[in-house]
Structure 1
Amino acid sequence: MFKLANSHRSIRSFTSQNIDDALLNDLLLTGLRSSSSGNMQTWSVIVTRDEAQKRNLYELHGEQQMVLEAPLVLTFCADVFRMREWIRVNNSKQSFDDLLGFLTGTVDATIAAQTISLTAESIGLGICYMGTTWWAADQIIELLELPQGVFPVTSLVIGHPAENPPLRDRLPIEVMVHQEKYQRLSDAEIRAAHADREEKAWARYNAIESVRTKIADAGITKVTDYYTSDFKYPKALHQRISKMLMATLQAQGLWL
C-alpha cells in the first residue's frame, strides 16, 4: 500500500479497452465501504459511459480529451436529498439542508472517490481527478438532473493507461506537516520549499509550445506569475466561479 500510494500519477491518455460491469461494480463497492460521517453516506456517484453524454461532459469540463478517451467518467456528489427523503417517508423532523450538510457530504464523497481511485490504481488502471467539476457545477447539475440537496464536488476519469508519465513534484513534508500548531515559514523557507517546483514546473510549462508562447508574450518569468495570469487562474475567474457556486448552493437548498 505504501508503494502504491507513493507512485500515484494522474493519467490523461487511455486505451480503447473497456471496463466491464463486474469490475465497475467491484470498484464502486469499495467506495461504499469508505468512512462516512455518522454512517449516513450523504454522497452519490453518477456513472457516465454513454458516448453522447461523455461528449456533453467533455464540453463542460473544458474540452479535456481524457473525458472522451476514458471508458468511465464518475461524478461524485454531496447528497442530502436521499437522507431527507428517508426522513420524509418516516415522518421525522427534517434536517441537513444547510451548509454543514453540504460540507459533510463533500467530505464523504471525496473519501469515497479516493478509495475508488486507490483500488483502481492497485489493479493497473489509471485515474485523473477533474477540478473543473466546481467550475461548471451549475451546468453539471442540469445535465445530470441532480435534485435539490445534491451537488457535484469532484469527478474521475478511469481507464487503462495509454501513457506512463513520470511522478510529479511535491512539496517537502517539512512544510506540509505541522507538529501541534501551525508553523509559519520565513520568506527564505518559502523560497527554499518551492525551489524544486519552480524549476520543474517552469520547465514543464515551457515544454508546451502554446503555453510557452503565452508566457513569452505576457513577459512572465516566474511560475507564480503564470498561476495568477489571465490565461491560467485569474482572480476575476475565481471570483466569478465563487459567486456561481454560492448561488448554485442556494438554488440546491444547501446554503442556509
Structure 2
Amino acid sequence: MKVQQKVLIGVSLVLASFGAQAQDSRTPIDTCQAISSEGSYVLTANLSASGNCIEIQASNVTLDLNGFTISGNGSGEGVTTGGGTARSGITVRNGVVRNFRHGVYLIGSGSTIERMSAMDNAHTGFLASGARVIDSVALRNVDTGFNLGARSSITGSTATNNGDGINVSTGSTVINNIVGLNTRHGILAGNGSVVSNNSVLGQGSLGIYLNCPSLATGNTSTANGTNLVQSGTGCVVTGNVAP
C-alpha cells in the first residue's frame, strides 16, 4: 500500500474516532427535564408530558431530538426556554413535537430550528423571535404554524393546515417555502422583509400579506381568498404569479 494511501486511511480513522467521541459527549435525555447548563444534549427515547417537557434554562444549548417525538396533552410547551428569560444560541433539531399549547417556544435571539416538525398543537407550532428556521414542518396547529419575530429567517419549510402559515416581523426573510391550505393566511411579513420563491396555495383568506416597504419576488400565490396584498407604500413586487 502506498504511503499516501496509508496516511489518508489513518486520517480517516482518526476523524471517525473523533466524530464518535464528539457524539458520545452529548448528554443523553430519556425523561422530561430542565436543562440548566450549556452544552449538547440528545434524546434517547420518545417523551410525553402534561405541561412543559424540556425546559432550557441556559444559553448555548443544542438539543438533538434524534428522530424521537415529544408528545403532550394540549397544555404547556414541548421545548421551551420558559420563565420569560431570554436565552441565546439555542439549537433544536431532528424530531417531532406534538399536542402541546406551543410546540417549540424560544425566548431570545440567535436560535436555530432545523429539521423539526410541530403538529397538532393547540396554539402555535413554532414560536420564536430572531430565529433561523430550516427544513421544518408545521402541520395542523390551531393558531399559527411558524410565528417568528423580527429579523428571523425561514427557508425550505412547509406550513399546511394551520390557522396562519408563516408570520414574521420586521426585517425577516421567507424563502423557498411551501405554504398551503391554512385556514386564514399563508405568509404575513413585517416591513423590511424579503419574501421570495415561495409556493402559496389554497389559503382561506390571504396568500401573501406584505407590510411595506418589503420585497416579494418569484413567488407563486394562487387559489387563495386574495393572493397578494400590499399594506402601505414602497414595496417592490416583481416576478410573482399572483393573479
Question: Is this a same-fold pair by TM over 0.5?
Answer: no
- TM-score of the aligned structures, taking structure 2 as reference length: 0.21
More strand as a share of residues: 2
More helix as a share of residues: 1
- TM-score of the aligned structures, taking structure 1 as reference length: 0.21
